[in-house]
């Protein structure tokens, strides 16, 4: 394992020290390595979601009727009020610029607001995130 010398701000150093003092980790190095592992795992998930959203954008429009889309959306959304309050859900610009996410049960609905309309780009179930 390579050795590195890094500097921390005072609040970050105090937080690291507290984790070691609480015996959550045996050393700051162990903690930093764990944080990096978590960040790498999270990045894999973000990259996977970005790919899904890119695929959704490229897939074009559906041939389903307006009624079919509405019926399917209502059953999937199960009361999630995206259309009524689209800006009240979290922005996920870190995943894809201009997108938002509404978590409904085990599903995450990724959407964007375009010309005043909500465009649902992908619905991803929690089970799909096990990469």
Asked whether the whole model's pTM tops 0.85, one would answer no
Average pLDDT over residues 5-32: 92
> What would the pLDDT profile of 24-49 be if each residue is shown by its tens digit?
889 999 999 989 988 998 888 888 88
CB 109 within 8 A of CB 100: no
Integer-rounded Cα Rg, in Å, for the chain is 20
Using alpha carbons, select from 118, 56, 109 the residue that is nearest to residue 87.
118
Does pLDDT of 18 surpass 80?
A: yes
Which residues does 122 contact at the CB level (< 8 Å), separation at least 6? 49, 52, 53, 55, 56, 109, 110
Residue with more model confidence, 38 or 82: 38
Residue of 126, 91, 127 lying closest to 110 (CA atoms): 91
Region 71-85: what's the mean pLDDT?
A: 66
The per-residue pLDDT for 123 is 84
Please state the rounded mean pLDDT for residues 55-76.
Answer: 72
Domains belonging to the chain, first-starting first, are: 10-129 (3.30.2310)
């Amino acid at each position: 394992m390579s050795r590195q010398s890094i500097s921390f701000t005072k609040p970050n150093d105090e937080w690291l020290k507290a984790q070691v003092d609480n015996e959550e980790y045996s050393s700051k190095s162990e903690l930093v390595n764990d944080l990096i592992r978590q960040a790498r795992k999270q990045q894999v998930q973000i990259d996977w979601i970005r790919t899904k959203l890119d695929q959704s954008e490229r897939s074009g429009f559906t041939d389903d009727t307006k009624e079919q889309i509405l019926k399917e959306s209502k059953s999937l959304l199960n009361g999630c009020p995206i259309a009524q309050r689209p800006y009240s859900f979290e922005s996920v610009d870190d995943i894809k610029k201009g997108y938002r996410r509404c978590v409904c049960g085990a599903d995450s609905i990724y959407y964007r607001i375009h010309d005043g309309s909500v465009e649902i780009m992908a619905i991803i179930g929690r089970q799909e995130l096990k990469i």
